[in-house]
Amino acid sequence: MNLTAIKQALLDSYQKHGGINHLDGVNLPAQDSVQQLASDYMHLMFPGFFEDTALSKKEVPALVDRLLAALHRRLSEEIEKSLRFASDADPAGHARALAAEALGQLPALREVIQTDVTAAYRGDPAARSVEEIILAYPCVLAISVQRFAHVLYRLGVPLLPRMLTEFGHERTGTDIHPGATIGTHFFIDHGTGTVIGETASIGDHVKLYQGVTLGAKSFETDPAGNPVKGIKRHPDIGDHVTIYAHATILGGDTRIGANSIIGSNVWIMSSVPPDSAAYFKSDQLVIRPRHAKPGPGSLAGDANFSWDI
């Protein structure tokens, strides 16, 4: 084996095909550092849950001091790298300001995240305690990290928000873009395979099951055939909506009205009125008032099924 020849071929590939960090120039955010940032953030949101040793109440202020200092330092560093990549005129100064603004939103963010935990506990009869939800339910990590990433996304930080949500995606199989806007009391049961696009909006008290996709119909392209960025592509979900497993809802002009239920495996590309139930009967999509009694062969195949969730 000629390692020298392999090395030279790799060096030539770097030059020809790219795909390497910005050597001798802008250094991009480090994946390990971003993952540690996400971990410190979760410890700060739920102190005592992820520590190796027991935590007493009197030790909490010192823990918060340590985590906040570490989070501020790491967040400032990674935002600065992201801003340098975007050719910001004052990356260091802007990074410090953006980090401070993001951290200032943590108390309000934590209040919203607690509603997600409550929604998971109330929404799953298998849950035995709130502690079980925080420690063992993947939606807590995926949603909590996305909410922090969304703050950074709204502040205009490049790169870093997507890296944070990809940490949650890798850990849980739940892919939520940092641009998605999500209301309170949000619960994704099981979580695996759920995809929520950048311009999706989700109201309060929404429950999704595994494999749900809130995606785009297609991409508008410019004259050169490249996707047009920054346009509304993903659906809006109203308050108190339940979407069952593997439903696919597409389009920026698609809205699921409040208090509706979307059945498993449906494919929806147009709006559904409020207080509706949508499901497949044979190969036809049926949309009817939610509280109307389902007919034979509908999603409610068993006498104990209730649409009133």
Q: Give mean pLDDT, residues 112-119.
A: 97
69-103 pLDDT, tens per residue?
999 999 999 999 999 989 899 999 999 999 999 99
For residue 129 the two structure tokens come to 């305690």
> What pLDDT was estimated at residue 23?
54
pLDDT above 90 for 21: no
**For residue 267, what are the CA distances in angstroms to 203, 206, 209, 307?**
20, 19, 15, 19
pLDDT above 80 for 49: yes
133-191 pLDDT, tens per residue?
999 999 999 999 999 999 999 999 999 999 999 999 999 999 999 999 999 999 999 99
Query: Which of the four pLDDT bands, split at 50, 70 and 90, describes residue 25?
Result: low
The pLDDT > 90 percentage for the chain reads 71
pLDDT, mean over the chain: 90
Residues whose CB falls within 8 Å of the CB of residue 49, separated by 6 or more in sequence, listed in order: 43, 131, 134, 135
Q: Give mean pLDDT, residues 258-270.
A: 96
Residue 111: Cβ within 10 Å count:
10
Report all structural domains of the chain as residue ranges with CATH numbers, in order of start. 28-172 (1.10.3130.10), 193-296 (2.160.10.10)
pLDDT above 80 for 307: no
- The answer to whether 208 touches 246, Cβ cutoff 8 Å, is no
Query: Which of the four pLDDT bands, split at 50, 70 and 90, describes residue 195?
Result: very high
The single-letter DSSP state of residue 76 is H
In the chain, the N- to C-terminal Cα span, in Å, equals 64
> What pLDDT was estimated at residue 293?
63
Q: Give mean pLDDT, residues 193-200.
A: 98
- Structure-derived torsion over alpha carbons of residues 105, 107, 112, 115, reported in degrees to the nearest 10: 170
292-301 pLDDT, tens per residue?
665 554 444 3
pLDDT above 90 for 199: yes
> What pLDDT was estimated at residue 220?
79
> What pLDDT was estimated at residue 186?
98
For residue 200 the two structure tokens come to 């999706």
pTM: 0.88
Query: Which of the four pLDDT bands, split at 50, 70 and 90, describes residue 291?
Result: confident
Query: Which of the four pLDDT bands, split at 50, 70 and 90, describes residue 308?
Result: very low
3 state DSSP class of 42: helix
Residues whose CB falls within 8 Å of the CB of residue 136, separated by 6 or more in sequence, listed in order: none
pLDDT above 80 for 19: no
